[in-house]
Structure 1
């Protein structure tokens, strides 16, 4: 019985890594962001918007990144207009984030996170966990093995104990 359970767990971990390694996003800075480049590191993926009541969380996301990046954490912002609160272009989003928040963590181009037009990462996330962003600034913590370690709603502040405890449990 135990060898079978071990085989199932290994298969599940392998599938999680395979799924995570297949996702790429266009970068707001040009080029491509490949999640496979961060295999072995925790990644906090956050769907964002520039004109939302939660937009000040960008400060907390930058603080989180500054606090834990040297230990391996990656914060990935996914600007989305699914809730009709994002600026009109990638250039406007990039300028807004640099001028108002001084962000230096990776960011994608404006990307759909819900419904039929959702990015494949978000479709995978919903299939795997049942979680889909219900508003801006929902957070998904991806474990170093590619599995979903935790999900957080918009109200979860980036530097809250709930979020930081989940992240530190995955570091070194």
Structure 2
């Protein structure tokens, strides 16, 4: 099993398979526009712009589980674009913990249990996925996305 076995739904309701990104490096992150960590959108966008031609994709998954997100997927995505210049794909609001956890996040947490615990503690937990669809690393919410650069470059050059 890998990330490629899951589907995701964009903020506009379009569902697709993550195998669309086979052979690319991915950063999957749970986001919230009203979170104190929301300025990380700028760093995530910087990474996306710098490395997308080399095969990086950043995927944002807004979640209101920590009560810091707007009421709709569309409003959240629009806020990301207008406030932070986000151009990477944003998805529908989802649960990252509990019984309604999006299957993708259930898988990501299972793959990184030892790293930072089995639940997502806060917004902006970041998962780095290698070109084979395997979880390469998990980063804490407070970790700047720019601290992922070395790991991203390593995976892009494999």
Report the structure number with the largest CA radius of gyration. 1
Query: Is the partner of 2:136 in helix, strand or coil?
Result: strand
Give CA-to-partner distance per residue, 1:26-78, whole Å, 9 cap, x none: 10134124210111111000100011000011000100100110100000000
1:146 deviates by 1.3
Query: Is the partner of 2:69 in helix, strand or coil?
Result: coil
The gaps in structure 2 that reach 5 residues or longer are none
Does 1:145 pair with 2:132? yes
The gaps in structure 1 that reach 5 residues or longer are 1-14
CA RMSD in angstroms, aligned pairs only: 1.2
Taking the aligned partners of 1:22 and 1:67, their CA distance within structure 2 comes to 27
If the length of structure 2 is used for normalisation, what is the TM-score?
0.91
- Which of 138, 145, 150 is the equivalent residue of 1:158? 145
Query: Is the partner of 1:169 in helix, strand or coil?
Result: helix
Taking the aligned partners of 2:78 and 2:104, their CA distance within structure 1 comes to 25
* Conserved? CA contact 1:33–1:108, under 8 Å: no
- Which of 135, 138, 141 is the equivalent residue of 2:122? 135
Stretches (4+) displaced over 3 A: none
